[in-house]
Amino acid sequence: MEMTVIVAHCFGEDQTYPILAAPSCKAKDYTDWEKLIEKVIETWVANGADTTVAGHRTLVHDKLDESSPLFGILSDIPGLSLYTGSHSITLDFDYKHIFKRFCTLLRSSNGLVLGNGRRMHAKKLEYYLTWLEDCDKEKAMRLLYPDDPQDVPRAIELMCAVTRLGRIDPTMPPYTNPGQIPDVITYIDFKTIRMLGDLFQNLLEPFVNPTLSLSQPVIHLSTFAHLLYSFYHSHRRSFMPNQLYYDSQTLVKNVIFCIAKQQRLDASQPFFLPDIGDDPIELLFAFLCMCGGHNSALYYKQGIDRLRAAQDIGGVYSCNPDLRHGHRRLNLLRTEHLDHMHRGMWSGDILSRNVNLHACWLNGHDTAISVLSISPTYPEDFDYDGIFSNPNIDMLCVFGAGLYPGITEGDDEEDISVQTVLPETTNAGDPSSSCVEVDPVNPDSVPDEIEQEQLVLDLEDQLKTLNTLAA
């Protein structure tokens, strides 16, 4: 039997609160889930206790009203979607899942497109990652083709490696000899890697750097949201799957809303950013599986009993944090000081009253423009003032008309941010000669686009690049 469980997790607490457990029915579709979510919210609010399409339809349908206590804080943030569900409830996606999906996309054979149409994928990174001092061929392979694609520390390690790689200047020694003109293809590749590194850094820093004050993560996430918008606005599905774009922007939106809610509720209280994740809920279900000897077959009554037992186990660990042994897939990094990150370890100022959301958002806006203005991205893709002057366009509704990537009916292309497999053979040559097969697909279905990458720059583009390098 399958069972649907809805669990509440409150900011500032480790404990979770199961509020619904019911047998699942395969015949139900998203409209049934929409009604269920609405009923749960109504019941939750009435008692005084303060799938994606269903969540969107339920939690992105009412525009924030001027009478809302949040309106004064959020209404002047350009590009922020102000659509919520009843009682200003917002949708969210766990940040660790977003990390993993970005890495899975990057590890795929098609990869992603950035800048002037340059594609970055595992084959190229397998070669370029070895340019890092602490990354040999073997380590690059472990990062790009992990045994466990759900390994969060490995995903973060790859994102950090790409960020560091983007800081390399391929026009300088030892990558280019003095007096020699740098390789045009390599130069363009590193422009793409640099943009990707900026994107990853602004997504990672808010969650892995405990020295940041709360204003700094907001600036980073604003920068991430603006960069993501411009890249998607320019390349659309070639850059990333629609679902991943929607989920990533929803993550940022929820952070902004949650901080604003804390400011209205009690601005003197801290806001611990990692609380927006679903780790406590995942741990609850880990304990539930453990109670059943990791046997997924169960009756409804057994499920209820195990849920109660799992709740008790979680309570024990919550009251005795010294007993926690950590969880490999949920840890951020494989370092002792971050394996068991908790509120007490966050040394930065995280009092919600010390955050000016509007100023931080505009700071991120300016940072994104400074990054994009020296990149191959077209100016019209980061003309945020002009784009968001249209009231029907925001970070989620990219092109207006009420159309949302990954949500609009008929927009159902496959989300390729899924796991890859370890290749059987590798070629240690440069990116143009690397022929690693990483996906079990028909080779004839992919090569056209990938093999023609070296021709992506026409003669005029190459001459412009050579003139720039020579200057």
pLDDT digits (tens, 9 = 90+) for 420-465: 444 444 443 444 333 333 343 333 333 344 344 444 444 445 545 5
In whole angstroms, what is the distance from residue 128 CA to residue 135 CA? 10
Which has the minimum average pLDDT: 43-47, 206-210, 267-271, 325-329? 325-329
Q: What angle do CA 402, 230, 380 make, to 5 degrees?
A: 95
Give per-residue pLDDT as tens, 255-277: 999 999 999 999 999 999 988 87
In whole angstroms, what is the distance from residue 128 CA to residue 162 CA? 9
- pLDDT of res. 58: 59
Which has the minimum average pLDDT: 57-61, 347-351, 436-440, 457-461? 436-440
- pLDDT of 250 higher than 90: yes
Tell me the pLDDT of the chain averaged across its residues: 80
- pLDDT of res. 88: 85
Contact 195, 114 (CB under 8 A): yes
Mean pLDDT of 153-157: 92
- Compare 317 and 346 and report the one with higher pLDDT: 346
Reported confidence tier of residue 190, pLDDT bands at 50, 70, 90: very high
Which has the minimum average pLDDT: 48-62, 148-162, 281-295, 325-339? 325-339
In whole angstroms, what is the distance from residue 180 CA to residue 84 CA? 56
- pLDDT of res. 327: 58
Greatest mean pLDDT among 144-148, 200-204, 268-272: 200-204
pTM greater than 0.85 (yes/no): no
- pLDDT of res. 243: 93
Reported confidence tier of residue 44, pLDDT bands at 50, 70, 90: low
